[in-house]
């Protein structure tokens, strides 16, 4: 164990100093390195290869919990502590960044609907509760705005739209896409914040025509729409903040590929029992 500690931290502290701390000799450490790999070490090497591959496929977003579930799905009998150790020893870490830009303009004269959702994000079937919001990404051409609609049953992104302007047509295009894809029955709760895009006459008219029950968050309360806020936090951390974007088109294509190629199909969600949105819907069908 002492030699393993030296090996784990040798990139941070000189080996001779580590040997002094652990009361072992540098010669003994070198002899330990030259020994044939044990059975567990060989298994760790196989696991590490799979960890690196799944980390690549997850766009560098899978930490210890999701990585463990992914490897279990592949047939490995592993626990969180072992996966955490291998990721830590090999410096496989998830990057997190943070920026902020306000996207909710609630200073308007449109009507506000009551909060029917009331922070109850559970839905036992599809098309029972939807939630929408707008976020952003900076490009060298300027801001690109992203509007999405989520089905709270599976957290699946069912509607999306992008634009260089944060106007009501952006939100309407995302809503129309969701309606065309899902064809919900009347009575589905549709929850958003109080932004002017969602309170506009045109947006509310579509909701009435399709039989939605409109619901809106309290003033300035992001927790009332936490499911969509979580999605935006995820896509920013896993994609949008990982690089700079030269054009809006570059960002748009990356968002499309992320949602359709990763977030909806394979990405595991803790709220769904570590299943992806599509897998969760398939199991519930």
Helical ranges in 23-78 per DSSP H:
26-34, 39-57, 64-73
> Model's pTM, two decimal places?
0.70
- End-to-end Cα distance, the chain: 50
Plot region of 183 (φ>0 → left; ψ -120 to 50 → alpha; else → beta): left
Q: Where are the domains of the chain?
A: 1-34, 39-90, 129-284
Of 259, 134, 122, which Cα lies nearest the Cα of 189?
Answer: 122
pLDDT tens over the chain, length 285 residues: 677 777 777 878 888 888 888 888 888 878 877 776 677 777 888 888 888 888 887 778 788 888 898 888 888 888 989 999 989 888 888 876 555 454 554 554 467 899 999 999 999 999 999 999 999 999 999 999 999 999 999 999 999 999 999 888 999 999 999 999 999 999 999 999 988 899 999 999 999 999 999 999 987 677 899 999 999 999 998 899 888 999 999 999 999 999 999 999 999 998 898 899 999 999 877
Q: How far apart are CA 175 and CA 197, in angstroms?
A: 11
Query: What is the 3 state secondary structure string of 216-277?
Result: ECCCCCHHHHHHHHHHHHHHHHHHHCCCCECCHHHHHHHHHHHHHHHHCCCCCEHHHCCECH
54 CB-near residues (< 8 Å, 6+ apart): 62, 67, 70, 71
| CATH code, residues 129-284 | 3.30.420.10
């Amino acid at each position: 164990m002492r030699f393993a500690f030296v090996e784990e931290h040798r990139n941070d502290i000189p080996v001779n100093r580590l040997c002094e701390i652990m009361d072992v000799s540098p010669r003994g450490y070198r002899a330990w390195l030259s020994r044939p790999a044990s059975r567990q070490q060989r298994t760790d090497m196989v696991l590490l290869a799979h960890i690196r591959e799944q980390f690549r496929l997850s766009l560098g977003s899978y930490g210890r919990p999701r990585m463990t579930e992914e490897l279990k799905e592949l047939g490995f009998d592993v626990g969180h502590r072992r996966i955490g150790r291998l990721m830590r020893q090999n410096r496989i870490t998830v990057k997190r960044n943070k920026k902020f830009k306000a996207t909710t303009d609630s200073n308007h004269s449109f009507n506000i609907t009551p909060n029917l959702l009331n922070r109850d994000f559970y839905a036992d079937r599809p098309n029972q509760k939807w939630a929408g919001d707008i976020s952003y990404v900076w490009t060298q051409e300027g801001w690109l705005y992203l509007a999405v609609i989520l089905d709270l049953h599976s957290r699946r992104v069912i509607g999306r739209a992008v634009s260089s302007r944060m106007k009501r047509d952006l939100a309407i295009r995302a809503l129309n896409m969701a309606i065309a894809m899902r064809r919900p029955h009347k009575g589905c709760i549709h929850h958003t914040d109080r932004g002017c895009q969602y309170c506009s006459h045109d947006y509310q008219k579509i909701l009435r025509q399709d039989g939605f029950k409109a619901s809106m968050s309290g003033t300035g309360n992001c927790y009332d729409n936490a499911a969509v806020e979580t999605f935006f936090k995820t896509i920013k951390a896993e994609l949008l903040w990982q690089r700079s974007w030269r054009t809006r088109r570059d960002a748009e294509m990356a968002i499309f590929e992320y949602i359709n190629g990763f977030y909806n199909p394979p990405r595991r969600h803790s709220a769904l029992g570590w299943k992806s949105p599509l897998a969760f819907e398939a199991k519930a069908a």
